[in-house]
Structure 1
């Protein structure tokens, strides 16, 4: 330990370079981790807020909420503690006095406003009448205000923004909530045949109760399975996580190469130490300690850079810090660095003292 730490103090230039490389790799990994978590959260946040256990969709909908169409009468066939209908629609809205260039993509949820799917309204009105909506407070950052009259797609009537909920998103866009009558009017118009249509039913179970449906045209999907099948969700997560793990492996090779080269440069010094009776195990521990210290410092600097970077990220960037994942990736980076540095131990063990000192 004494040898490794003092060598770092003596040859600051070489080791600062190693720390810098480690810090940059850690910085990149932490930023990618936050972006991956932000994108995942942007896809599923509204679904997580349901705190539900399952969802019943049409069998031919391929687990896609928007592609599912069921009659409200299906509710009677569902076994669960709490069951509520839901409708979903992707559309673009704008403030009535704004131009068409100011459209905002949102996901509209049609719900029973007295049920558990109705989020807590943190500002404004919670009782929704026809053509009234409450919206994720994320829309505040885009200039929307309570009382705004909204144009929604080709819907002929105006929507009124009457309340804010805490931030909620689905498929990376903010969520607005309306009652089922408003949702049906926007999606189907004045078609009387649509008066009992919904996209699906969200179900809460009690004490591990199994959720079932006796309707032959519908199926029960666990909430986590439903989330995994959201369009692009799994592919996006696999891609970004794959990039992160590749970077961790690459960091092991980079640090391993640095330590190996520096070990070769110290062959003569190691030879002298061996002649003086210093055991190979002590020298090996010194190399591993150096690697660990460099990795810890590099990861620490990477964390500090990440904290500063987050302060300057635009609101439109879907970044969300996941502290458990950050801790896991920090640990993996340090372990990968130690494994990379361990390749130099064999070089230390093979040093012949006489050859090393020119004997």
Structure 2
């Protein structure tokens, strides 16, 4: 370790360039990880807050809530705990701002509605609660909302925790209000029934209905799977590129020091010792680069606008950081193999 660190101090410029490469790689890797988490969160934030086990929809709806129509009485009483869901897309305006959103009609109270952070829950028709993501865009308690596809006027009485569904902000209302906005959802007609029951698979349903686990339901959200696969491939290829770049840099440096290693071997230094020196040097460089990249990622996340969906998970970042250091060490294998092949007499010349 002493020899490795001593060489780094004596050749600051050369090793600083390698550290800069590692900083950029780790910075990009951590940012991609945060963006991947952020995009997943945009799609599933509201769904995960339900803490549900399954969702009941029409079989012909292709596991899409908006395309499903279910008679509530065909599901009533079958599960330990359940909540009906009416969903319709709206374009809401408060006179100043206009946003695409989803309106959820729920029974009051319902576990589909997240924690209220401001105002109060819905008490009557034409009252609604908005989630925090809409509040961040200029909507507030007391606003009168007009809808592009309906003459119904809505009053905002509360703000809930952020509860985005498939990347859309959510407006919560009672079933009667949603029925006025979307006449297809009158009476006992609902889009889906969300279930909290560990034994949901044991319940029999009408032949026209199906119960789907929440994990499978999330997987079928429009764009969810392709988006995640794309980002995961990008992260995987970045790991591969990282190993290649680091390996090439270290290999070139080893070739440049071929004569030095020959002298050290002639003085009695073993292949094992020199291999440890290279590994120690790689570890120090990778650690410095990863730590600085991590710090830059945290700093960047503080200045990104709300429109950028970034969510940093410290455990994931820690695992990626460790993986990057391990990959850097694996990249130094070529250097170690080349050291073993150095003939002291030929290297000295």
- Offset of residue 211 of structure 1: 5.2
Question: Which one of 260, 265, 268 corresponds to residue 274 of structure 1?
Answer: 265
Counterpart in 1 of 2:186? 194
Secondary structure in structure 2 of the residue aligned to 1:42: helix
- TM-superposed CA distance for 1:83, in Å, is 1.4
Is residue 2:212 matched to residue 1:239?
no
Instruction: Summarize deviations over 1:180-222 as a string: whole Å, max 9, x none.
Output: 111121112xx7x83221001000015x564534211000100
Q: 1:340 aligns with which of 331, 336, 339?
A: 331
Distance in 2, Cα, partners of 1:127 & 1:175: 14
1:140 maps to 135
The aligned counterpart of 2:161 is 166
Unaligned runs of 5+ in 2: none
Deviation at 1:232, TM superposition (A): 0.6
Select the residue among 99, 118, 126 that pairs with 1:123.
Answer: 118
Kept in 1, the 8 Å contact 2:101–2:170? The answer is yes
SS at 1:151's partner residue? strand
1:260 counterpart residue number: 251
Tell me the residue number matched to 1:14.
14
Q: How far apart in 2 are the matches of 1:304 and 1:324?
A: 15
Q: 1:114 and 2:116 equivalent?
A: no
User: Structure 1 residue 219 and structure 2 residue 245: aligned?
Assistant: no
Offset at residue 91 of structure 1 (A): 1.7
Which stretches of structure 1, 4 residues or longer, exceed 4 Å deviation after superposition? Answer: none
Corresponding residue SS for 2:150:
coil
- The aligned counterpart of 2:90 is 91
Q: How does 1:16-165 map to 2 (within 5 A)?
A: 16-76=16-76, 79-95=78-94, 97-98=95-96, 102-165=97-160
The TM-score, its normalising length taken from structure 2, stands at: 0.97
Q: C-alpha distance in 2, partners of 1:214/1:304?
A: 53
Secondary structure class of the residue paired with 1:262: helix
How many residues are treated as equivalent by the alignment?
349
C-alpha distance after superposition, 1:314-343 (max 9, x if no partner): 011111111221112111111111111111
Q: Is 2:202 the counterpart of 1:203? A: no
Residues 85 and 201 in structure 1, CA contact (< 8 A), matched pair in contact too: yes
Residues 213 and 219 in structure 1, CA contact (< 8 A), matched pair in contact too: no
SS in 1 for 2:151: coil
What is the aligned partner in structure 2 of residue 5 from structure 1? 5
Q: Does the 8 A contact of 2:122 with 2:174 survive in 1?
A: no
Q: Which of the numbers 292, 296, 312 marks the counterpart of 1:321?
A: 312
Note the aligned Cα RMSD (angstroms). Answer: 1.4
Contact 1:135 1:163 in 2 (8 A): yes
